[in-house]
Amino acid sequence: MGAYVMPGITILFFALIVGGIAYVISGSRHQGAWDDEAKVTATMKKNGWKVRPQVDDATAFLLGSDTPGEMWPVESGENGVQGISHGSWKAVTIQSPSGDQLYISYALAQRSDGTVADLAEAIVERQNGLFEVQTSIGRAPEYLTESVRSAINEWESPDSVYFNGEHLVAVFPTTHGQADILERVVAYVNKLEAVIQALPRSAWQ
């Protein structure tokens, strides 16, 4: 009987060792991911950004009190992660089995003469490598001038750019937890501001 007990104990002993090693490796990787995210969050806050780990309503977060239009690309009540805000822009990642997406909204400021932006709803989507305009008014809005189209066409990163009322929202493919999120958000916001600067004066009424 002892001949059967000893191999069993030996197998159990090695199983415990292997399991312990796997647990330590898995735990260290998990801890490493948490540490990386904590470092990124700390850097964002150092830059003056406000960071929320969870966002209960991505639409309300991105648009504030404004009502989304018919072509708004986010499902009602959709939640998000890593909500970031600073000045006129906000960003949030929405996770999906088909791939994560980063949304960055920019609120157009009221001009010194008191006029406010009132953009007709439109979405410029990348299709087969080119940007196509879709709109609910049956024609391309007047604010989509050659300058605005050129600023968007020179921008390789976004899947789409949404226009409505006082907001522009750009959508990008992403993976939550990427270490370069801070640099990418800065670059995306700068590009979005270039599109805004190209808008004609008539976009404000």
Q: Which two tokens stand for residue 51?
A: 């960071």
User: Are 55 and 41 contained in the same domain?
Assistant: no
User: Are 104 and 143 contained in the same domain?
Assistant: yes
User: Are 94 and 176 contained in the same domain?
Assistant: yes
**Range list of H helices, the chain:** 2-46, 58-63, 146-153, 181-198
The DSSP bridge partners found for residue 51 are: 84
DSSP letter, residue 202: G
What's the pLDDT tens digit per position in 63-103?
Answer: 998 889 999 999 999 999 999 999 999 999 999 999 999 99
pTM of the full predicted structure?
A: 0.81
Closest CA to 120 of 134, 104, 107, 106: 134
User: Are 79 and 144 contained in the same domain?
Assistant: yes
User: Are 74 and 86 contained in the same domain?
Assistant: yes
User: Are 14 and 86 contained in the same domain?
Assistant: no
Number of domains within the chain: 2
Give the mean pLDDT of the chain.
85
User: Are 198 and 139 contained in the same domain?
Assistant: yes
Q: In which band, very low, low, confident or very high, does the pLDDT at 157 lie, cut at 50, 70 and 90?
A: confident
User: Are 35 and 58 contained in the same domain?
Assistant: no
Order of strands across the sheet with 80-86?
A: 50-55, 80-86, 89-94, 100-107, 167-174, 160-165, 119-127, 130-135
Structural domain of 29: 1-46
Nearby residues of 67 by Cβ (< 8 Å), 6 or more positions away = none
